[in-house]
Amino acid sequence: MRTLKVGIIGLGNWGLSHLEAYRQLPFVEVAAVCDANPERLRSAKEQYGITNVYADAQTMLNQEADIELVSIVTFERNHLQPTLLALEAGKHVIVEKPITTDPEEARQMLAASRQYGRYAVPGHLLRFEPKYAEIKQIIENGQIGKPVSIYLKRSRENGLFATYQRTHTVFELMIHDLDQAIWYAGGKVKKVYATGRTVTGAETPEILWAQLQFESGAVAVLHSNWMTPDAAGIAINDYTEVIGEKGIVQFDTNPAGVQVWTSSGRSTTDVSIHHRQNGRVIGCLAEQLNYVSQCIIYGRNPDWISFEDALHGIEVADAIVKSAAEGKEIIL
């Protein structure tokens, strides 16, 4: 198998996770990284031995002609510029979730991907998490019949809210479930009603509920919150249930985590998203990067994941923000 050279733009917490996950793929070389913050670049050099580091995306793309795939892992609100630059330079891109917080920007990204003939892959990694993907397969097999009701709950630790309130909860957290709901329902949303609550007075709600009606007739209820107390030691506490005309499929991530009980309390280790184990990185981020890299090497379309669906997710998210602010139903 030939080597695929990749670059990363945005080397914050999650950009480093991309770096770690790529580095364990024997057919991938992280050829260069870019971050506006010099501290991040220094640690990439010192900790990971990456010598080609850049403070500016355009310079990296000009200098690194051999790079074929670029991960865009900048702040939620500035994915557009590096994505367009990379596509224009002839690179395939993985754009972290939320691909953007503005539907118009998502349309521009999709248009550029088509114009330059390069893949734009949204970072919706749950499509590569075996339990979520199993539900899709069960739906596709016809085992539970046509989906009529979808319930997706996502709870994260309170402490994370300090960082991620920089982006509305629908774009930061619920966007995962919007992509899942669109994937499972297999179509477009036509109507949205949402309501949010803040308990600290933050601009972004810590608790958000959204009810969606799909063109297919399916309904979905999504609930995202940042309310798990840090001391509870539960990093991920999510629930998924799809009711079809002939059956139900569901799972709960909390009991599936590895529970550690000590004299200082309880903690739950999640091994499904991104986890270091025995010198390896496991989880669905690594699965996704592996899948996309192999698709590029073998010239296959990475169609397990869809930028069109991600764009629709941003349109629905935008309607959720409006509905929660105005207290009324929004028709898409």
Footprint of ligand NAD (CB under 6 A): 9-15, 34-37, 40, 57, 73-76, 78, 82, 96-97, 123, 125, 172
- How far separated are the first and last CA of the chain, in Å rounded? 45
**Angle, alpha carbons 330-99-315 (nearest 5°):** 15
Q: Which is nearer to ligand NAD, 3 or 78 (CB)?
A: 78
Kindly state the smallest distance separating residue 51's Cβ from ligand NAD, in Å: 18
Asked if 321 and 168 touch (Cβ cutoff 8 Å), the reply is: yes
Strands in 111-158 per DSSP E: 120-123, 147-157
Kindly state the smallest distance separating residue 46's Cβ from ligand NAD, in Å: 16
Q: Which is nearer to ligand NAD, 99 or 319 (CB)?
A: 99
Cα separations (Å) of 212 from 180, 187, 193, 279, 293?
A: 13, 12, 7, 42, 34
Q: Which is nearer to ligand NAD, 97 or 330 (CB)?
A: 97
Kindly state the smallest distance separating residue 221's Cβ from ligand NAD, in Å: 22
Nearest CA to 186 among 308, 89, 11?
A: 308
Kindly state the smallest distance separating residue 35's Cβ from ligand NAD, in Å: 4
Kindly state the smallest distance separating residue 215's Cβ from ligand NAD, in Å: 27
- In the bound state, the residue with its beta carbon closest to ligand NAD is 12
Q: Which is nearer to ligand NAD, 119 or 171 (CB)?
A: 171
Q: Which is nearer to ligand NAD, 166 or 280 (CB)?
A: 166
**Neighbouring C-beta atoms of residue 41, cutoff 10 Å:** 18
**What is the separation of C-alpha 121 from the centre of its chain, rounded to a whole number of angstroms?**
10
